[in-house]
Amino acid sequence: MTRIAHLLVAVAAVAGVVANSAPASGHADEEPAPIFGIKIPPGYRDWRLISVAHEAGNNNDLRAILGNDVATEAYREGKLPFPDGTIIARLAWSYVVSEENNKVFGRAQSFVAGPPINIQLMIKDSTKYAATGGWGFAQFKDGKPADEAVHKTCFPCHVPAKVRDFVFTRYAP
Amino acid sequence: MTRIAHLLVAVAAVAGVVANSAPASGHADEEPAPIFGIKIPPGYRDWRLISVAHEAGNNNDLRAILGNDVATEAYREGKLPFPDGTIIARLAWSYVVSEENNKVFGRAQSFVAGPPINIQLMIKDSTKYAATGGWGFAQFKDGKPADEAVHKTCFPCHVPAKVRDFVFTRYAP
């Protein structure tokens, strides 16, 4: 290869490394979210996978639902209601076409996780959050909580899932 | 409620419990897959999330890519090539409309993980798998390996990702 080609390969490799580097956990010292007063639980990004989904429409995301140990074990045992201490984290990323994958598959079919959109949390504490089915709710984007208006909408939206303890996501085996 | 209504609620609750129960890990004593001789690694279902994707077309799936500790740490450090001992597991489930969620969102937009389709594995051992870029490949459905013809297609498909050590998936922060 020419010297310029070597240089371009090196730059591409560095860009790949930078793009792939990512921190392991949330920041526990950030501002709590409104109404329920929830902070980002440290280490949530390390939790186990409950399931995945795609929300089209205004969301246009790919999402993963992660659970802490209490959540994951309750899901696997089929335990309802979820015990106090359950935390469920819904991570959402932009729904992005992968041209690179499409070339490999030979057709336009591949959609991958792009930039992060936000995270949402449900924390079970049947005493503290008795007014909202035992659950506290929170939404964060780039470590910053969403506003109070957003947090007023969480529980009403989850009420239709009351028979499953207000949780929509099912476990993906 | 009437007695019949109570009975129906009880049956629904049991069905919900059965549907939600799921085993925690793979079975290490199963038949190895062809060519690379890989068995399902125990506990893969507990591994950390690398990213998520949707493959349309013939796949019609939602997928999660999980990594063991070596894989996850390499991804987070942006380390290429992946070290020996890296294992990446791609889990795929059917891409299923969620009518229940659509009612909540008020529009047709929600797609969730349905029944499992299959799992694929990449295991890094640069000595054992030197002929295929240092990677062994395997595909399993319901614990049973796919046939030899399928396993011949794995590495050629991954060759276009050579600059990222044959791995397509990027880390989703």
What pTM does this model have?
0.85
Separation CA A157–CA A7 (nearest Å):
53
Are residues A64 and B80, on separate chains, in Cβ contact within 8 Å?
Answer: no
Give the confidence band of A27 by pLDDT, cuts at 50, 70, 90.
low
Least CB-CB distance to A54: which of B54, B77, B170? B54
Which helix (H) or strand (E) covers residue A152, if one does? helix A148-158
- Inter-CA distances, A109 with A43, B10, B68, B112, Å: 33, 42, 27, 17
Give the per-residue pLDDT at B30: 79
pLDDT tens digits for range A105-117: 999 999 999 999 9
Cα(first)–Cα(last) distance of chain B, in Å? 48
Are residues A164 and B104, on separate chains, in Cβ contact within 8 Å?
Answer: no
The size of the A-B interface in CB pairs under 8 A is 168
Are residues B55 and A24, on separate chains, in Cβ contact within 8 Å?
Answer: no
Identify the residue whose tokens are 């002929």.
B131
Q: How far is A43 from chain B (nearest CA, A)?
A: 11
Q: How far is A127 from chain B (nearest CA, A)?
A: 24
pLDDT at A23 over 50: no
Cβ neighbours around A7 below 10 Å, total: 11
Count Cβ neighbours within 10 Å for each residue of A25-57 and write b for 16 or more, e otherwise. Answer: ebeeeeeebbbbebbbbeebbebbbbbbbbbee
Q: Which of B133, B127, B141 is nearest to B157 (CA)?
A: B133
pLDDT at B24 over 90: no
- Burial classification of residue B125, based on how many CB atoms lie within 10 Å of its CB (0-12 exposed, 13-18 middle, 19 or more buried): middle
Q: How far is B116 from chain A (nearest CA, A)?
A: 7
pLDDT tens digits for range A90-102: 999 999 999 999 9
Cβ neighbours around A156 below 10 Å, total: 9
